[in-house]
C-alpha cells in the first residue's frame, strides 16, 4: 500500500480509478480503516478518481505522539491532497470523518467542490465521555469497545443478516492501535465547530441515519440550519450508513456530488 510521508504522520492511502477523473476523497470513522469504503470505491471508481486513507492512529497509518486536535485530522487531508498534487476534490466523511469535513469546509474551502458529511455532528458527544473512553482503552485495550461496537454502528436487523461483515469490522477495531484510538477520542472531546458553521460558503450535503443513536437527525438539522448552502438527506440506517445501505449511499453521491453540477 502507498504511504504518504507528511509533516508529522505517515498516512496509508489507496487510490482507485482514473486520475483524469474528478477526485473524491473518503475519510473513515473512529475505529475503522479505509476499507470501510469498499462498497463505494468498487462502484464509484468508474466515475471518480477515488482516494481513501487511514486517519492518523488508524489502520496502517502511523500514530504520532498526542495530543491530537481536529485541526490535525483536517490538515492531514490537505497535506495528502498536496502530496498527490490534487488541486480540488470532492470530500465524503463519516462520523469522525464528517467532523473533519466540516473543519475542511471552514478553513480550506478552496480545495473542495462540495463536501458530504455523514452520520456526524458539529459536536459529537460530550467531552467527559470521550475522555473516559480514552482512559478505558488505554487501561483495557480495544476489546471492550470492539465487543459492543456493532450495537452502536448498525441496526439489529443488519447485525442479524450480515454477521460476517459486522465481525470483520469488530476484528479490525480490536486489532487497531490503542493509543491511536485514544488520541482520536481526545481530539473528539475538544472538537466543536458549532460557532464556525456560519462561515462555511461551499455546498455541503448532510446524510443522517434515521436509526442513528449517536449522531441523530436532530444533529443533521442543526448543521443544515447553520450552514448557508446545506442540504439534508436521510437514510434508513444506523451510524455506519455507507455499509448498512451501500446502494442508497452511492446513489446520494451520484445524484448530489456530480462534477458537472459543481460549478
pLDDT at 152: 96
Q: Quick one: pLDDT at residue 256?
A: 67
* Grid cell locating 131: 475522555
Please choose, from the candidates 227, 254, 12, 248, the residue with its C-alpha nearest in 3D space to the C-alpha of residue 120.
227
Q: Do strands 49-53 and 3-5 pair parallel, antiparallel, or not at all (unpaired)?
A: unpaired
The candidate with the shortest Cα–Cα distance to 28, out of 63, 66, 73, is 73
Per-residue model confidence (pLDDT) at position 21: 95
Domains assigned to the chain: 3-261 (3.40.50.1820)
Burial class (CB in 10 A: 0-12, 13-18, 19+), 79: middle
Tens of pLDDT, residue by residue, the chain (263 residues): 799 999 999 999 999 999 999 999 999 999 999 999 999 999 999 999 999 999 999 999 999 999 999 999 999 999 999 999 999 999 999 999 999 999 999 999 999 999 999 999 999 999 999 999 999 999 999 999 999 999 999 999 999 999 999 999 999 999 999 999 999 999 999 999 999 999 999 999 999 999 999 999 999 999 999 999 999 999 999 999 999 999 999 999 998 656 444 44
Amino acid at each position: 500500500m502507498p504511504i504518504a510521508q507528511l509533516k508529522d504522520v505517515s498516512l496509508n492511502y489507496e487510490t482507485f480509478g482514473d486520475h483524469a477523473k474528478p477526485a473524491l476523497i473518503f475519510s473513515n470513522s473512529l475505529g475503522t480503516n479505509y476499507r470501510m469504503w469498499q462498497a463505494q470505491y468498487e462502484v464509484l471508481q468508474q466515475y471518480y478518481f477515488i482516494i481513501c486513507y487511514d486517519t492518523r492512529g488508524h489502520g496502517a497509518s502511523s500514530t504520532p505522539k498526542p495530543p491530537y486536535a481536529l485541526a490535525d485530522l483536517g490538515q492531514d487531508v490537505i497535506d495528502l491532497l498536496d502530496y498527490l498534487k490534487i488541486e480540488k476534490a470532492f470530500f465524503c466523511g463519516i462520523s469522525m470523518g464528517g467532523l473533519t469535513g466540516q473543519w475542511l469546509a471552514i478553513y480550506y474551502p478552496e480545495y473542495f467542490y462540495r463536501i458530504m458529511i455523514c452520520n456526524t455532528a458539529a459536536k459529537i458527544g460530550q467531552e467527559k465521555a470521550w475522555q473516559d473512553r480514552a482512559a478505558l482503552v488505554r487501561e483495557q485495550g480495544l476489546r471492550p469497545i470492539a465487543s459492543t461496537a456493532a450495537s452502536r454502528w448498525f441496526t439489529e436487523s443488519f447485525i442479524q443478516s450480515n454477521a460476517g461483515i459486522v465481525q470483520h469490522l469488530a476484528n479490525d477495531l480490536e486489532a487497531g492501535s490503542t493509543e491511536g484510538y485514544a488520541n482520536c477520542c481526545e481530539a473528539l472531546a475538544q472538537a466543536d465547530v458549532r460557532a464556525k458553521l456560519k462561515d462555511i460558503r461551499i455546498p455541503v450535503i448532510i446524510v443522517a441515519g434515521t436509526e442513528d443513536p449517536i449522531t441523530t437527525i436532530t444533529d443533521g438539522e442543526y448543521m443544515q440550519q447553520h450552514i448557508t448552502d446545506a442540504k439534508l438527506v436521510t437514510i434508513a440506517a444506523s451510524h455506519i450508513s455507507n455499509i448498512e445501505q451501500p446502494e442508497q449511499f452511492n446513489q446520494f453521491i451520484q445524484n448530489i456530488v456530480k462534477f458537472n453540477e459543481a460549478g
